[in-house]
Homo-oligomer: A and B are copies of this chain.
């Protein structure tokens, strides 16, 4: 793991705790043992770092999901798989969804970051629509937005009330 990857990792933790403005170049540089000026070598501006963060997060999330077809082939319900990955992100890391938090504060973000946040949700809705269609839902597009809304909202409220059992109650 090189310094660039380390920087993204520590920045991700901070953003998932308090949003885009919850990390500074100085802080993350200090965390990985370099100087803040050197962070600019890897990421010219803070917006570049933020965009890279959301892009990487989206890719990792999609990779964790896998393909709807593979899940159906295993005889599992893709919506259950999707829910389990959300639950894992909350329980394991005790943190919000990166793009959920960024999405909520969308208006104040640099455009580069907004684009990547939008990509996250576009890809999620695409995946969920396919999943609901494969399950025989009559309105897969609506079911998709309902599923992701419920999960992001339950995550947010579990963080606000500092009690993960609300997530379980809302999604079980």
Interface residues of A (CB under 8 A from B): 17-19, 21-22, 95-96, 99-109, 117-118, 120-122, 141-142, 145-146, 148-154, 156-157, 159-162, 166, 169-170
Number of copies: 2
Asked whether B108 lies within 8 Å of A18 as measured between CB atoms, the reply is yes
For the complex formed, measure the closest distance between the CB of A2 and the CB atoms of chain B, giving whole angstroms: 28
Neighbour of A21 across the interface among B19, B161, B170, CB < 8 A: B19
Asked whether B101 lies within 8 Å of A105 as measured between CB atoms, the reply is yes
Asked whether B106 lies within 8 Å of A104 as measured between CB atoms, the reply is no
Neighbour of A153 across the interface among B108, B120, B148, B161, CB < 8 A: B148
- Beyond the given A96-B105, A152-B152, please list 17 additional residue pairs across the A-B interface where CB-CB is below 8 A: A19-B108, A21-B21, A95-B107, A101-B104, A101-B105, A102-B160, A103-B160, A104-B156, A105-B105, A106-B160, A106-B162, A107-B159, A118-B160, A120-B160, A141-B169, A145-B170, A152-B157
